[in-house]
Amino acid sequence: MISAADLLAEITDSLAAMLVEQRWFAGKDRPVSAVIPVRATDLAGADPRLIHAVVEVDQGEPHRDRYQVLLGMRDELPESLGHAWVAACGDQAVYQAEHDPELTAVLLELMDRGSEVEGLRFAAEPGVALDTTQRSRPVGAEQSNTSVVYGQAYILKLFRKLAAGPNPDLELHRALAAVGCTHIAAPLGSIEGELQDSRVTYGMLTEYLRASADGWAMATASVRDLLAESLLNGNAPGPVEQPHPADVGGDFAAEAHRLGHAVAAVHTDLATALGSYGAPAGYLDAVAEGMHRRLDDVLAQVPELAPHEDALRAAFNEVRTVQGAVSVQRVHGDLHLGQVLRSVSGWVLIDFEGEPMVPLAARVAPASPLRDVAGMLRSFDYAANHLPLGEADSEQRAEMALAWATRNQDAFCDGYARAAPDPRKQLVLLRAFELDKALYEVGYEYHNRPLWLPIPLAAIARLTTPQS
């Protein structure tokens, strides 16, 4: 039988072709020169066989990204796994093993037993006994990672792009669980190890929140209700008054208020678990400099941003003048409506990794909680505005979208202020964080969804216009 290492070396070209097609592959904008095996570990069996692999991807840059890959091998590949095919090795098919419930069951069993295989450490959290009879299925919606759901009990997140050091998602879940936070999914297990003298987190098992709803889906359903009511009114004879978000059946404001309270509770629990302190000297200067650097980068790529440069520079420079105490602590780092779930018991925050493209050191650095608040405020604006795009009555729809976004942003801040300082009391810093997030969105939309570019551009224009 071919060794795991030899197999990996034999199929590097096939792996290169597979990687560029994956939603979680971060280098789609650059050609792949080579896939370089880093390690390969047999975890189970011969037919089917499970191999845990780490590969390095050469894309012509000094730093090569590393990815985790799970490979299965079978003499005969069932039709149900045909879409997961990667390569042929002798008489066997090599495929993406996360799609095979027989092989993903091995991961759960290894965690339950607390096994270590060639430096890969599988463990359940203290006091947790896992039900290894749960059958798995992969979740197809994620982009930067891959998740596997076991029955209705567990969800295993496999971190695809690997970074040296403790993964903040696992670290913060453990810290929050230790102080009894009720707004997270309980951590249940992990896959960790050493990779070339660095600690690496490969996977995190948490409780699966069945019957939960995605925050983005709930918010956009509310917007659709509002627009549908507007269409009904528009077909009525004579002049009609457009509906207010508060008067439409799908009003989201009460949930936005609860969500704000949940986010503030998580921030408070993070401060309890890991500390909170006054920002060190130079923090505001460093924040402003980072915002200016992002502006420089995006201006060089997006000509539509040029008319807003002076106003953005002024807003970022104003950060340096903020007076009074500014607290910093560990935060979520990439908070938006897609990172929250409404469970039967309340709102839950997920995915504490931070922005995937940001270096790990920056993601784990203490920051103002206003960064998370600003991210959520921007997400409300996106939810409100993504549907009206291209409509004939776009001006009227834009007014309704603004009314919806403003109502829910205010409700979110009201809820937040129940458990933590009101973010609106630091408007200069909050507005700067919102504008910085909008800048990120401008760069992203310009390269990926040009039709959505007007959303962050309009937000920048609105946020930099003096209020009368």
User: Of 141, 175, 208, which closes a domain?
Assistant: 208
For residue 86, being part of any structural domain is answered with yes
> For residue 235, what pLDDT band results from cuts at 50, 70 and 90?
very low
Buried b (16+ CB within 10 A) or exposed e, 3-13: ebeebbebbee
- Whether residues 199 and 219 fall in one domain: no
Under 8 Å between Cβ of 177 and 157: no
**Cα(335)–Cα(376) distance, rounded to whole angstroms?**
6
For residue 267, being part of any structural domain is answered with yes
In degrees rounded to 5, what are phi and psi of residue 58? -90, 115
pTM for this structure?
0.92
For residue 246, being part of any structural domain is answered with yes
- Whether residues 301 and 201 fall in one domain: no
Residues of the chain with pLDDT > 70, as a percent, come to 94
Identify the domain containing residue 15 by its residue range.
1-208
For residue 468, being part of any structural domain is answered with no
- Whether residues 120 and 19 fall in one domain: yes
The DSSP line for 175-210 is HHHHTT-SSSPPEEEEEEEEETTEEEEEEEEEE--T
User: Of 178, 208, 238, which closes a domain?
Assistant: 208
**Cα(64)–Cα(61) distance, rounded to whole angstroms?**
7
Residues of the chain with pLDDT > 90, as a percent, come to 80
- Whether residues 57 and 185 fall in one domain: yes
- Whether residues 131 and 159 fall in one domain: yes
pLDDT tens column, 168-201: 999 999 999 999 999 999 999 999 999 888 899 9
CATH number of domain containing 376: 3.90.1200.10
For residue 103, the one-letter residue type is L
- Average pLDDT score over residue span 392-403: 78
The residues near 419 (Cβ < 8 Å, ≥ 6 apart) are 261, 264, 265, 268
- Average pLDDT score over residue span 398-402: 87
Backbone φ/ψ region at 61: left (φ over 0), alpha (ψ -120 to 50), beta: beta
For residue 167, being part of any structural domain is answered with yes
**Cα(378)–Cα(434) distance, rounded to whole angstroms?**
7
CA 365 to chain centre: 17
- Average pLDDT score over residue span 133-144: 83
Q: Which of 220, 50, 73 is nearest to 148 (CA)?
A: 50
In three-state secondary structure terms, 53 is strand
Under 8 Å between Cβ of 201 and 190: yes
- Beta-carbon-side half-sphere exposure of residue 167 (alpha carbons within 13 Å): 25
**Cα(414)–Cα(86) distance, rounded to whole angstroms?**
51
- Whether residues 176 and 224 fall in one domain: no
In the predicted structure, residue 232 carries a pLDDT above the cut 70:
no
**Cα(167)–Cα(354) distance, rounded to whole angstroms?**
10
- Whether residues 309 and 388 fall in one domain: yes
Neighbour tally for 107: CB within 10 Å = 28
